[in-house]
């Protein structure tokens, strides 16, 4: 898998001589799988043309906070939410100061205030400006707030001075961000994940199932690969495509899901049950199509399926076992009951009475519940919720 596969990156270009190197940064990110959007300050346009960066990124340049057309296409808040990573390169002394003081009078300033993305800064300025106490104070404040600095490098500057202030070279910037975002916190661990619905066949053409699309479970599998884990994904019938690094096992029924999960559990450190497993299946399977002409009413007797999650928790006590709870009322309370009754390490509740999250949509909003705490993860794309869930699991098992 490429380092930046499925990553949305915003490159903010500010007005310094090193702006000409931004085209190369974009090229390297794209080559490594990223979708890149470019934000330019007005002064950046004095050093490199928007047309160049538009051509290299393959996307329209974003340069205005108050342009109605630009805002209707993708406004600053949407941009801020879209990004997984924001890089400011080159970052001038003025831009550093602006971000430190939270000024939002242009697109870049507003974006940095509004985003939850990881923000990286590659400063580029004259060495005396960099070493000046004001800039050093700004650097310290932003570092303490969790923004990551790349450089500046030392060497000969455009003005002829020699010292710290050169922008770090594009290939080094991209590889530093790659190793920091793909830290591999789950490397060496095997995770088995279930996703999607199960189908309980009534006859050859009819079955009992539900609306799970598999998106949440597949997002967890992808995020686990990003974080370095070995991943087994036991998937019900969905129309999603799994990354080739994922070991996929396609099943139909709850019984098949149980069998497949159990075959992976000896080697699994973590189990995450995200599938919407059918709670019931028909007692008898009719092996020819039931004819509607045969009767006015059809009674199908159902039996309860085995609970995969409970069985995993019971038989694999050394594994960290995580369930999901799809609830429509008393969400947190019902989820806590499942945490206890199924003897889990963690349960993740989602309120599926809200149709804009949970089943068959791209976003979710969840509570991550353990015996000790409840962490609320506000509404976001499933891939980002998945990354946060895995980071919480990682911190709990360490
Ligand atoms: O697939 P998407 O469209 O992206 O939707 C995601 C989702 C809403 C399906 C997902 O976020 C979710 O909530 N999954 C769990 C759905 C569910 O079946 O919840 P439940 O509360 O009925 O079950 C509780 C837990 O027991 C779940 O971890 C479930 O996988 C597990 N279970 C249930 C029954 C059973 N026989 N065996 C099980 O392992």
In a shared domain, residues 326 and 227: yes
Question: Ligand 1: which residue has its CA nearest to atom 36?
Answer: 307
Sequence-ordered alpha helix ranges (H) in the chain: 22-31, 50-57, 68-74, 76-82, 93-100, 107-114, 127-131, 133-144, 170-181, 215-226, 254-265, 308-315, 331-341, 382-397
In a shared domain, residues 289 and 269: yes
Q: Helix, strand or coil for residue 54?
A: helix
In a shared domain, residues 46 and 132: yes
Question: Is 274 part of the annotated catalytic residue set?
Answer: no
Ligand 1 shell residues, CB under 6 Å: 194, 196, 212-217, 254, 273-277, 279, 305, 307-309, 323-326, 338, 350, 352, 358-360
CATH number for position 42: 3.40.50.1950
In a shared domain, residues 109 and 57: yes
CATH number for position 204: 3.40.50.10300
In a shared domain, residues 332 and 254: yes
Structural domain that includes position 244: 190-397
Residue 323 domain flag: yes
Residue 3 domain flag: no
In a shared domain, residues 52 and 93: yes
Euclidean distance between CA atoms 264 and 288, whole angstroms:
34
Q: How far is the CA of 350 from the centre of ligand 1 (A)?
A: 10
In a shared domain, residues 201 and 106: no
**Domain limit, last residue, from 128, 161, 181:** 181
Closest C-alpha among 23, 37, 25, 43 to residue 125: 43
Which ligand 1 atom lies nearest to the CA of residue 364?
11
Name the band, by pLDDT with cuts 50, 70 and 90, for residue 1. Answer: low
In a shared domain, residues 168 and 309: no
Instruction: Provide mean pLDDT across the span 20-30.
Output: 97
In a shared domain, residues 320 and 391: yes
Which ligand 1 atom lies nearest to the CA of residue 310?
39
Structure token digits, residue 79: 């941009």
**Domain limit, last residue, from 158, 181, 204:** 181
pTM: 0.70
In a shared domain, residues 127 and 177: yes
Name the band, by pLDDT with cuts 50, 70 and 90, for residue 2. Answer: low
Residue 356 domain flag: yes
In a shared domain, residues 138 and 269: no
User: Which positions ≥6 away from 69 have C-beta within 8 Å?
Assistant: none
115-172 tens-digit pLDDT: 999 999 999 999 999 999 999 999 999 999 999 999 999 988 778 888 899 999 999 9
Instruction: Provide mean pLDDT across the span 69-86.
Output: 84
In a shared domain, residues 256 and 232: yes
Q: How many domains would you assign to the chain?
A: 2
**Domain limit, last residue, from 181, 202, 233:** 181
Residue 310 domain flag: yes
Which ligand 1 atom lies nearest to the CA of residue 350?
13
Q: What are phi and psi of 190, to 5 degrees?
A: -110, 130
């Amino acid at each position: 898998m490429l380092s930046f596969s499925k990553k949305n990156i915003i490159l903010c270009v500010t007005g310094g001589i090193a702006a000409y190197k931004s085209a190369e940064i974009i090229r390297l990110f794209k080559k490594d799988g990223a979708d890149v959007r470019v934000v330019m300050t007005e002064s950046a346009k004095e050093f490199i043309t928007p047309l160049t960066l538009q051509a290299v990124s393959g996307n329209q340049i974003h340069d205005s906070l108050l342009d109605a057309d630009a805002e209707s296409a993708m406004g600053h808040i949407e941009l801020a939410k879209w990004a997984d990573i924001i890089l400011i390169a080159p970052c001038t002394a003025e831009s550093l100061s602006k971000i430190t003081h939270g000024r939002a009078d242009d697109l870049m300033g507003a974006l940095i205030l509004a985003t939850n993305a990881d923000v990286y800064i590659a400063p580029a300025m004259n060495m005396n400006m960099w070493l000046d106490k004001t800039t050093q104070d700004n650097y310290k404040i932003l570092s303490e707030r969790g923004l990551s600095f790349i450089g500046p490098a030392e060497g000969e500057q455009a003005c002829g001075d020699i010292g710290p202030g050169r922008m770090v070279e594009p290939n080094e910037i991209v590889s530093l961000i790659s190793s920091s975002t793909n830290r591999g916190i789950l490397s060496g661990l095997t995770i088995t994940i279930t996703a999607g619905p199960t189908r309980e066949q009534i006859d050859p053409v009819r079955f009992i199932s539900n609306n799970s699309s598999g998106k949440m479970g597949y997002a967890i599998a992808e995020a686990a690969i990003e974080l370095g884990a070995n991943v087994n994904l036991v998937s019900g019938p969905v129309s999603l495509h799994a990354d080739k690094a994922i070991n996929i096992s396609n099943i139909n029924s709850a019984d098949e899901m149980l069998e497949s999960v159990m075959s992976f559990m000896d080697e699994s450190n973590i189990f995450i049950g995200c599938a919407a497993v059918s709670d019931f299946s028909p007692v008898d399977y009719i092996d020819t199509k039931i004819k509607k002409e045969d009767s006015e009413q059809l009674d199908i007797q159902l039996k309860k399926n085995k609970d995969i999650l409970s069985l995993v928790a019971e038989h694999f006590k050394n594994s960290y076992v995580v369930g999901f709870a799809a609830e429509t009322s008393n969400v947190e309370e019902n989820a806590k009951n499942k945490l206890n009754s199924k003897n889990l390490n963690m349960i993740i509740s989602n309120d599926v009475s809200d149709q804009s999250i949970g089943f068959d949509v791209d976003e979710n909003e969840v509570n991550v519940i353990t015996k000790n705490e409840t962490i609320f993860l506000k509404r976001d794309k499933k891939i980002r919720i998945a990354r946060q869930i895995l980071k919480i699991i990682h911190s709990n098992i360490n």
